[in-house]
Amino acid sequence: CFEVLAAKSGVRVQVGADETITAALARVGVKVTVSCEQGICGTCVVDLLEGDPDHRDEYLTNDERSEQIALCCSRAKSPLLVVDL
């Protein structure tokens, strides 16, 4: 498990082992627009402000991976990710 903080919304949520970040955020009222939900289209990409992501998408380039994250499928290696939402 890890936590995600939606910085602009001021909402923090725990992401369960069987749950996506988008599903966890939806539980606490932070809506992320998704489309493919498989890490291919980039619809769910947001800016990453803090934390060590475990990228599981096929969309972002290596350069983009340091500052963005695809929320439909990626996870975290650090206990907390802070995203620009």
Structure token pair of residue 62: 């290596």
Q: Applying CB under 6 A, which of residues 6, 21, 59, 85 lies at the interface with ligand FES? A: 59
Q: Rank residues 10 and 64 by Cβ distance to ligand FES and give the closer one.
A: 64
Residues 6-25 that bind ligand FES (CB under 6 A): none
CA distances from 53 to 18, 29, 68 (A): 17, 22, 9
Minimum distance from residue 25 beta carbon to ligand FES (Å): 13
Other C-beta atoms lying within 10 Å of the C-beta of residue 14 = 12
Element (H, E) at 3: strand 2-6
Q: Rank residues 5 and 40 by Cβ distance to ligand FES and give the closer one.
A: 40
Give Cα 46 to chain centroid, integer Å: 7
Q: Applying CB under 6 A, which of residues 19, 37, 54, 64 lies at the interface with ligand FES? A: 37
Judged by the rule CB under 6 A, the positions of this chain that interact with ligand FES are 34-37, 39-44, 57, 59, 70, 72
